[in-house]
Amino acid sequence: MAPNPRPGILDIAPYVGGESELAGFDYVARLASNENPLGPSPKAAQSYAALKDDLHRYPDGGTTELRDAIAKVHDLDAGRIVCGAGSDELISLLVRAYAGPGDEVVYSRHGFLMYPIAATTAGAKAVAAPETDLTADVDRILECVGEATRMVFVANPNNPTGTFLPEGELERLHAGLPDGVLLVIDAAYAEYVEDGAYADGRALVERADNVVMTRTFSKIYGLAALRLGWAYGPANVVDVLNRLRGPFNVSAAAQAAGVAAVRDRDYVQKSVEHNRVWRDWFRQQAGIAGVEALPSVGNFVLLRFDGDARAEAAVAHFKENGVLVRRMASYGLPDCLRVSIGTETDMRMAADALASFAERRT
């Protein structure tokens, strides 16, 4: 007889990435996965390439140089950084460590999909807190926190809505949590935010023993292929993550490229500027076409259509015009599409496709 997985595992819908529909395209503006369209820093690519002579060596299991580089750039304590194979791995490890059967994990309704997937995988119940105007709502989140709650996830800024909670709201959320509940602030898109009311959450991490911040090299650093993320937390959480993670969970390639990428601040700045220019331009073009484009502080824009069928038709139209975007039905937003900010060529293609779609009535 075939072995059965633990109860609940077969209820999990597999995470399907935005690139899953690439087959069959000649030229594609790939705007489905919030990557950096400029690619990584050339210095990171060089460090990656230089690794070819050392492929037979194990990586540094302690990610020492990488943690030191991150700590120096961000002015943090290297001893309280843990690196992982993407922030996805760190999210999964945190849930596995702090929640299990009978426990609840609270997240915001249109928050990143990995939170409910990781919670269900660990046997815990994922509880979706309602939002207000597509933005995480601290009061609604706190209303969902009960006896069984072990963790609360907030993506700040949030994917796919592009919204964020200002620092004061994060503090209010933290202050409202009962002792012993872990608050995970997922700041995957932090580098893109230029609004002064935003903070990545490190101040809370420094003050509290129940807050952890996660970050990624997949977005601004353009290293999604290498799978690299990091968490900054209090000593107790860092200790737990270090016990749970695999001994060599971050490849040597990811470490080498990551060190060079995090040090190249000019490249980060250039990427932020590119993103701002083309995000604002694309929103403006959407407005001209008469399509609602929500404000966003991230490297993507959410388009809202007049009904689910229209959103579905828009995805097909983008695709016919060589533009891959992401439908948001799996995030509970069936009338929305997410368009990542690409190169100038990508964005002009996307705007042209949107304009021609808007002219069509069916």
> Which of 108, 149, 163, 218 lies at the binding interface for ligand PMP (CB under 6 A)?
218
CB of 116 to ligand PMP, least distance (A): 13
Q: What is the three-class DSSP state of 158?
A: coil
Which residue in 271, 71, 263 sits closest to 190, CA to CA? Answer: 271
Of the listed pieces 4-12, 84-92, 138-146, 277-285, which binds ligand PMP according to CB under 6 A? 84-92
CB of 9 to ligand PMP, least distance (A): 21
3-state per-residue secondary structure call for 307-354: CHHHHHHHHHHHHHCCEECEECHHHCCCCEEEEECCCHHHHHHHHHHH
> Which of 40, 59, 86, 162 lies at the binding interface for ligand PMP (CB under 6 A)?
86
Per rule CB under 6 A, is residue 216 in the interface with ligand PMP? yes
CB of 346 to ligand PMP, least distance (A): 18
Site for ligand PMP in 87-106 (CB under 6 A): 87-88
Complex with ligand PMP: residue 218 or 285, whichever CB lies closer: 218
Complex with ligand PMP: residue 98 or 112, whichever CB lies closer: 112
Site for ligand PMP in 154-213 (CB under 6 A): 155, 159, 186, 188
Of the listed pieces 1-9, 85-93, 135-143, 235-243, which binds ligand PMP according to CB under 6 A? 85-93
**b/e per residue, 253-266, with b = 16+ CB within 10 A?**
bbbbbbbbbbbbee
Per rule CB under 6 A, is residue 224 in the interface with ligand PMP? yes
Number of residues lying near ligand PMP (CB under 6 A): 13
Cα(92)–Cα(96) distance, rounded to whole angstroms? 6
Are 273 and 344 contacting, i.e. CB atoms less than 8 angstroms apart? no
Phi, psi of 38 (to 5 degrees): -85, -5
Strand pairing of 211-216 and 182-186? Answer: parallel
C-alpha triplet 27, 31, 37: angle, nearest 5°: 85
Containing 13, the helix (H) or strand (E) segment is: none
CB of 3 to ligand PMP, least distance (A): 29
Complex with ligand PMP: residue 28 or 113, whichever CB lies closer: 113
Containing 218, the helix (H) or strand (E) segment is: none
Per rule CB under 6 A, is residue 233 in the interface with ligand PMP? no
The site for ligand PMP (CB under 6 A) is made up of: 34, 86-88, 112, 155, 159, 186, 188, 216, 218, 224, 229
